[in-house]
Structure formats: structure tokens, C-alpha cells
A and B are shown apart, each in its own frame.
Chain A
């Protein structure tokens, strides 16, 4: 096939695939939560309630595009876009399969970390532009939480980088042909996954949008299409964290018998299911407890992991 055409197909495939996945996850999460909570969930529209996604979309598209009069209009509109774009851009570096990848950057991991830092802006600006106290408190919490969890999210990944000897995600996957990094880097895996929960603001780290406290936190004032972008952005971010966990720790597309892409998707969706299971299980932490967990437990653990990894690598090389 013409390489340019292939690339174009991959780009659009990934883009629309992600929208589809995000939309489907809204349904999957509700059905899975319902399963674990002894109830039905959406099961009326279409087979297994699958067309609920379409019904929701019709509803959300036909809603009035309302901006509160007290809001800072341009920023208010921009904020959900920032989240959406930053999350989608991160997927540019994810290798789905040996020949399905948008960009093979040699600093892919750094690119992902940079993009996830950018999405903090979306949350912060949304809360600020809403000019509402609930939104403000929500976005303050979000910024504190995401900034501090990014620190050791990055640190947790350095063990993997040291072992693979590269920041490129394709190289990292290929380096796992013998053994998945999830085994030697199990501490890194745990920390990255927990930080991922915090990055995506999921229970037990959903303080920025804690319903019983802050109504809806930073997106209290949003409705219609702009709310849908936050919503979809959250699901795509979950998929991103799951996809990266798979790439970095669980061997990416590697696996016997099945085609590489199937392996990748299988692993990713299992992790997404785990995200949802955690949401069905745990209560929410308090703000100070969250920061304490981050700075007093996760950070030292991540540093220790990095030091031990480095020492082992050096020892093996016989320095």
C-alpha cells in the first residue's frame, strides 16, 4: 500500500476509533456499574441498550449551547477543547500494533507527559472561567491533584525507560519481548496506575468533581456539547492511561496466536474494566489525604524503585 495513504488511514482510523470508543465506554461503564450494583442499567434502546449512545448524542447535540452570563466567555469555550485536544494528541505516540502508529517519536514518553500536563490547563481554566465557587474549588483541587500526581507518574516510568534504554514507545514495547516490564517494574506499574486514576479524576480520586460535595466541581456550569466534551475527554483519557499501561508494562501488542492489534485492544479494555470496577468499589479520599498519599507514600516509593532499578542495571553491566 502507498505509505502516505496508509498513514492517512491510520490517523483517521485512530481519531474516529477513539470517538467511537469514548462513546461506547459511556454505555459500557453504565452497564458494568449496573452489573456490579445489582441493577440493569440502560437496556431499552436497541440491542443490549447499545443505541443509548446514539440517543444520548441526539439529546446532547440538540441542547441549547448555554453560557452563563457571569462566565468569562472565550476561556469558558476554550477549556473543554484543551482537554479534548491534549488527550487526543497523546494517542499520536501510542503504538497500537507494529504497523499502526501515527508518529514514532524517540521522545514519545516525554510527549505523553507534556500533553497530560497540558490537560491540567483545561480543568483549571474551566473552573476559573465559570466564575462560580463550586467550580473554582473543584478546579483548585484538580490542579493540586494533577500536578502532584504527575511528578511521580513521571518518576514511576523512569524505571521502564532505564530498562528499555529509550523514551520511544515502540522501542519500549520491543524491549519487552522476553519479559513484560510489569514483572520487574511491578512497583512502577502500581504507582503509574494509581497516578493514572488521579490524572483522570476517577474514584477514589474524583475530588475535583465530587458530586456530594461540589455538585459537579469544575464543570458545574457546563451543559450540552461542552459538557459532552469533558465527558468524552474523561473516557478517552481513561483509554489513554489503559493503553499506556499496556504499552509500558504489559507488553503492548505482544502476545501469541492472536493478531497484535487484538492483543493490544484486549489488554487495554481489561484495564478499562478495572477502572470501572474500582469506581464501583471505593469511596472518595479527602483532599489532604490525597496529597499525603501522593507526597509521603508514592513519591518515596517511586524514587526507591528508580534507585533500585538503576543499581540492578549497573550491577548487571558489571560496572
Chain B
């Protein structure tokens, strides 16, 4: 048994009465079931007392098990709450499941163990109606407060057309208008401090500095921020619910729109997870094409970040230069995939098509074009005295605290922890590439910017290697579940033709199982936790996005600073609201 599994032996020894039971999953992550009564003790042990503890609550979600047929090997229960932990010392995940009986179950909060649990638990309540006992501020988070029902429960309709026509009566309108009135208590903010009455300022959901439909309620003492509360959910489209409606194949384009500046980077964890469920191994050429496109999109996403960050600080010009550069990268993407921002180019078992003739020249041109531009931006932006004064020491956080908040990606690396999952637990073929993991020291807004910039240079290095060593061979796996199957095969034999027909008209049937795959996306760790019940679509699709965890840190990062600092922090965090709200 490999060392990352030893926790599976340790837990039952230590908590004999907690009915610890392992479960085998397609992704091979250690997964255990724990009795609800002892779950909090086990989690506390794992978080604090265990040797090489699990200091990050990577994800927290739930599953409505009531209509699932393939779960004979699992403890009975109507709902399951899933805690996904990560230990940096062990370099290992642990998935802890708690079975809950009954229609309206409840579970004890873990916000006392990980501050990151706060929003995740609110989401579990909002989406599943699982009550969280002892939560500091329980309220809906993604759905509006007047919503009836909990969308991810199986009885909740999937489409608006199943819900009957929408009517807005005068009484209802008046009620909704009344709810819009700002009452600080509802946001967990006090009206008065020890010696002053606070001013409350509403920022967003329509504001030039919030990067999208984010609403922030600021509790101000003069221009100083005492506290703040975020209101999210304006961009919620029910992406996870759609995963239960679309087939495995037709869900791919939906993933593009989660982190909408990340393009195919979103396809990556999804198709990897489906491939694990189906047991498909993508061929080498497909792997390298995926990595090349993913790194191009990392650059695209970072250029957007860089430009808008400068704009937030009042510098007008950089955003134009950087969007011009981004357009160059998008031209390469468009030549390869035919689309700019949302190519939806990855397929179960490979990519949609082979690279077009002449792609090398396009990629080469871009590799030659960008580095001198980045050097110029270093002079104009990073070494600009005003830029440094505005960002140094602003929104600083230590690596330990960042871990407790579930921070990943550039945000974590800016704190000095050289943690990149492409390096630590390589996926999709990244073990074959040579690159460095840039880090910062202070964990402040300035370091976050420098880490992003350095990462663009590393991505160029990876693309360079893709260009030099693009392997020949097929771009799709030879597997019955590859969707759609390789065209030559489909035109050649009737069996593949049938697979093609079923895969396109009905959707591929993925064998029952569970898999979660994590990738180091542009903004942090993005993972898809897919559960198949042996159908043409997922039984449950869980999308863990970096922006959600990062935005949750906003009050922690901005308390005691001024409004312009809040804008600098928002700019440096690198989030998009679609990635927060899904």
C-alpha cells in the first residue's frame, strides 16, 4: 500500500467506534466513510492532531443519494456530506464522507477547524437543504434569500420550463423591493462601534472595480474599512445542476464558461475525470496538444489579470497593451480550434481535431512576440514606484493562514510556498515538462502580481517544449467511450459507427463510479468531482473553483485598510465571478 493510503489504516485504529469504512473510487483518492456522530472529532484529529496534518479543507460538498442505484457498497443514507482534505506534508488527499439519513438532515459545522468552511457550508445548505449546526452566519449564498427549495436536491426541477410560468404580482414586487433595503445586521455587520457610527457603502453588483457582478457591503469608519461582507450569486447559472442534465459529452462546452477567461483550462479537469471513470488513456499527442492549449490559456488569463489589475490602480495604458497581446494568443487559439474564448476543444479521450497545417509557425511567432513585451511591462508596471507603493504590504497573508482559507495557485505561491500541482502531483503529462515554480515572499498584492508575471514566462517555456517535441500519432484514444470516436475508425467499421451514433445522439454511457481530478488552473486549483450512476449523464457534478475560496478571504485581507486598497486587493486576487458562482 502506498504511503498516501496509510491514513486508511490509522483512522480505524484510532476511532474504532466511528464505523470507519473505506470506499474504492476510480480516482484512487483515499476515501472513508465516518459515522455522523463522530465526524467532527475525526476531522479535528485530521486537521490538528494527526501526524503531518490535513491543513487544507480543499472542498466541502454534498450528494443527494436518494435516486442513486449503484451504491450497494456504501452505508445507507439519503444525503452524503463530503469533506475533501489535503495535506501538504503528506502530499495526499483524503475524502471523508458522512452519510445522513432523512429528508431534512443536519450536520455540525467545521468552521471552527477551517475558516474556509464558512462559504462551503452555506452552499451546502443553499443547494441541498442540509442544516449546518453552529454555523456563525447561516444564510443562502448563491440563491436569492427568497428562493424556495434547494436546487441540487433531486426533486428540484432542472429547467425553468418545469417550474410553471413566472408571475410578479404587485404584492410580491413590494416584498422584493422591501428586501432590497440594506440592513447591516443581516450581513453580520454592526451599526455602531465603540465610539463611532459606521458608514455603510454599497459597492456593486454594478461597479467598475469589482470585476463583474460582485456586491460588497463596506462598513466604513471614514475611508477606513472596518469590515465588509460579500454578496455573491449574481452569476449563478446552476452549472452543477446542468451537469446532471447534459450528457457527459455535451457538458464540455458548459465547463468553458465557468472561468470564462480560462477557456480550455476548464475542459481539462472535466475530461480527465470522465476519462478516469471510463478508463480511457489519452494518447501522447492529445496530451501535449492539451497542455499546449492549456498553457496558452494560462497566459491569456494572466494577461487579462495583469491589465485589469493595472487599470484598477488607475494606470490607463497597460490594459490596452495586454489585451492586444492577449488577442495575439487568441489568434493562435482561433487558428487551432476555430473559436476564441470558449473553444470547448477537449474531448473524452483526446481533442476535437488534430492540429492544423502550419500551427508551428503561429505558435513560434507568439513565442517570439511575447517575451520582449513582458520585459517592457516589467519596466512600466512592476518597477513603477507608484505601483509598488500601492501594492506592497497590501492584503498580505502568511502561507499558513492561506492554507487554512483554502488558497491555491498564484495566491498561495505568492506567500512563498512553491506548491504547483503540475509539479507536485503531475497530471495529464506535465511530468514530462521542464519548468520552474515561481514564488513570492510577502504574500501581498505586489507578490501576487510578480508571481503571475513569472508564470507567464514559465508557460512560454512549456509551450516551447510542446512545439519542439510534439509527438506524432493519433489525437484520440482507441476506446469505445471516446466521444466522438476517431473518424477513420467510424467510417471503417460498423461497431465504431454504432458507438459514434450512440455517443452523439444519446450520449456515452460511463460506468458507475466516482472520480475527482484537480488541475492547476490559471487562478488556482480547479477540480471536477464526478459521480456516475451508469447513465448518459453525471449523477452529480461538483465543480471546485479557486475563485470561490479566494474571494472568501476578502474580508480577512482588507480589514483596517482603505477603499483604494480594497480595489488593489480585488485586482490582485485574480477571480472571475462566473468561477465563484458557477
Are A and B part of the same complex?
yes
| In the complex, residue of chain B having the shortest beta-carbon distance to the beta carbon of A284 | B314
State whether the Cβ of B320 lies closer than 8 Å to any Cβ in chain A. yes
CA distance A39 to B317 in the complex (A): 10
Q: Are A286 and B208 in contact (CB under 8 A)?
A: no
Are B562 and A287 in contact (CB-based, < 8 A)?
yes
Determine chain A's interface SS by DSSP, over half rule.
Answer: helix
B25 within 8 A of A: no
Are A280 and B316 in contact, CB atoms less than 8 angstroms apart?
A: yes
B386 touches A213 (CB 8 A): no
- B138 interface residue (CB < 8 Å to A): no
- Interchain CA distance A213-B390 in the complex, whole Å: 13
Is the pair A285, B390 in contact by a Cβ cutoff of 8 Å?
Answer: yes
Q: How far is the CA of A166 from the CA of B317 in the complex (A)?
A: 42
Return chain B residues, CB-CB under 8 Å to A203: 314, 316
Most buried by A among B199, B310, B315, B324: B315
For chain B, the count of residues having a C-beta within 8 Å of the partner chain is: 29
Closest to A211 in B: B208
Q: Given A133-B201, A283-B390, A285-B389 in contact, is the A212-B320 Cβ separation under 8 Å?
A: no
List residues of chain A with CB within 8 A of the CB of B384.
282-283
Is B223 positioned at the interface, with any CB of A under 8 Å from its CB? Answer: yes
- How distant is B381 from chain A, measured CB to nearest CB, in Å? 8
Q: How far is the CA of A33 from the CA of B317 in the complex (A)?
A: 8
User: Are A213 and B564 in touch, CB under 8 angstroms?
Assistant: yes
The proximity string for A residues 206-249 relative to B, scoring 1 for CB distances below 8 Å and 0 otherwise, is 11001111110000000000000000000000000000000000
Instruction: Give bound CA distance, A38 to B322, whole Å.
Output: 11
Q: Which residues of A contact B312 (CB under 8 A)?
A: 212
B209→A37 contact, CB < 8 A: no
* Cβ contact within 8 Å between B207 and A215: yes
Beta-carbon contact of B314 and A39 below 8 Å? no
- Cβ-based interface call for A204 (8 A): yes
Which B-chain residue is minimally distant from A279 (CB atoms)?
B316
On whether the beta carbons of B317 and A36 are closer than 8 Å, the reply is yes
In the complex, whether A174 has a CB less than 8 A from a CB of chain B is no
How far in angstroms is the closest Cβ of chain B from A73? 24
User: How far, in angstroms, from A213 to B208 measured CA to CA in the complex?
Assistant: 7
Which residues 308-331 in B have Cβ within 8 Å of A in the complex? Answer: 310-317, 320-321, 324
Known A213-B564, A283-B390: A37·B317 in contact at CB below 8 Å? yes
Q: Which of A38, A207, A283 meets B321, CB within 8 Å?
A: A38
Q: CB distance B314 to A287 under 8 Å? A: no
Query: Among B310, B313, B380, B565, which residue has the most Cβ atoms of chain A within 10 A?
Result: B313
Could you say which of B201, B315, B380, B564 has the most chain A C-beta atoms within 10 Å of its C-beta? B564
Q: Across the interface, do A37 and B321 meet the contact criterion of CB distance under 8 Å?
A: yes
How far does the alpha carbon of A5 sit from the alpha carbon of B140 in the complex, in Å? Answer: 75
| Nearest CB of B to A297, in Å | 13
Contact check, A282 vs B386: say whether CB atoms are below 8 A apart: yes
- Interface residue B567 (Cβ < 8 Å from any Cβ of A): yes
Given A211-B208, A212-B567, also A286-B317 (CB < 8 A): no
Contact with B along A171-207 (1 / 0, CB 8 A): 0000000000000000000000000000000011011
Do residues B320 and A283 form an inter-chain contact, with CB atoms below 8 A?
no
Known: A33-B316, A37-B320, A289-B389. A213 touches B563 (CB 8 A): yes
Closest A residue by C-beta to B207: A215
Cα distance A286–B563 in the bound complex, in angstroms: 9
Bound-state Cα–Cα, A214 to B324, Å: 27
Check B310–A283 contact: CB distance below 8 A.
yes
B564 and A38 contacting across the interface, CB-CB below 8 Å: no
Q: Chain A residues with Cβ under 8 A from B562's Cβ?
A: 286-288
How many cross-chain pairs have Cβ atoms below 8 Å apart between A and B? 80
Taking the nearest CB of chain B, how far is it from the CB of A269, in angstroms?
21
Within 8 A of B (CB), among A98-154: 133-134, 137
Could you say which residues of chain A place their CB within 8 Å of the CB of B315?
A: 281-284
Q: Is the CB of B317 within 8 A of A284?
A: no
Q: Which of A33, A37, A213, A287 contacts B567 (CB 8 A)?
A: A213
Q: Which residues of B contact A281 (CB under 8 A)?
A: 315, 317, 380
- Residues of A near B207 (CB, < 8 A) are 215
A284 touches B209 (CB 8 A): no
Shortest Cβ gap from A296 to chain B (Å) = 14
CB-nearest residue of chain A to B388: A283
Size category of the A interface is: 20 to 34
B501 at the interface (CB under 8 A from A): no
Does B387 belong to the interface (CB within 8 Å)?
A: yes
A288 to chain B, nearest CB (A): 7
Q: Are B390 and A210 in contact (CB under 8 A)?
A: no
Closest CB-CB distance, A70 to chain B, in whole Å? 15
Complex interface: chain B residues within 8 A of A137 (CB)? 201, 223, 563
Q: Which residues of chain B come closer than 8 Å to A288, judged between CB atoms?
A: 562
CB B538 to nearest CB in A, in angstroms, measures: 40
Return chain A residues, CB-CB under 8 Å to B389.
285-286, 289
Q: How far does the Cβ of B385 sit from chain A's closest Cβ, in whole Å?
A: 9
In the complex, are the beta carbons of A287 and B564 less than 8 A apart?
Answer: yes
Instruction: Select which of B199, B311, B313, B324 is within 8 A of A38 by beta carbon.
Output: B324
In the complex, what's the smallest C-beta–C-beta distance from A197 to chain B, in angstroms? 13
- A273-309, CB under 8 A of B: which get 1 and which 0? 0000001111111111100000000000000000000
Contact status of A213 and B209, CB under 8 A, knowing A33-B316, A137-B223: yes
Residues from chain A with a CB closer than 8 A to the CB of B311 are: 212
> Once bound together, how far apart are the Cα atoms of A281 and B315, in whole Å?
7
CB distance from A263 to the nearest CB of B (A): 31
- Least distance between B565 CB and chain A CB atoms (Å): 7
A204 vs B389: C-alpha distance when bound (angstroms):
13
Q: Give the contacts of B496-537 with A (CB-CB under 8 A).
A: none
In the complex, the answer to whether B313 meets A284 with C-beta atoms within 8 Å is yes
Known: A282-B386, A283-B390, A284-B386. A210 touches B316 (CB 8 A): no
A139: min CB distance to chain B, Å: 13
In the complex, A280→B321 CA distance in Å?
A: 12
A203 to B387: give the CA distance in the assembly, Å: 13
Residue among A38, A210, A215, A279 with max Cβ neighbours from chain B (10 Å): A210
Contacts of A134 in B (CB 8 A): 201
The A-contacting residues of B in range 276-330, CB under 8 angstroms, are 310-317, 320-321, 324
Please measure, in the bound complex, the distance between the C-alpha atom of A75 and the C-alpha atom of B390, giving whole angstroms: 35
- 19 other contacts beyond A283-B314, A286-B562, with CB at 8 A cut-off? A37-B321, A38-B324, A39-B320, A137-B201, A207-B564, A210-B314, A211-B208, A212-B208, A212-B312, A215-B208, A279-B316, A280-B316, A280-B317, A281-B317, A283-B390, A284-B313, A284-B314, A285-B390, A286-B390
> Using a CB–CB distance below 8 Å, which chain B residues touch chain A?
199, 201, 207-209, 223, 310-317, 320-321, 324, 380, 384, 386-387, 389-390, 562-565, 567, 571
A–B pairs, 25, beta carbons within 8 Å: A38-B320, A134-B201, A204-B314, A204-B386, A210-B564, A212-B209, A212-B314, A212-B567, A213-B567, A215-B207, A280-B316, A281-B380, A282-B314, A283-B310, A284-B313, A284-B315, A285-B386, A285-B389, A285-B390, A286-B389, A286-B562, A286-B564, A286-B565, A287-B223, A289-B389
Question: Which positions in A face B, CB cutoff 8 Å?
Answer: 33, 36-39, 133-134, 137, 203-204, 206-207, 210-215, 279-289
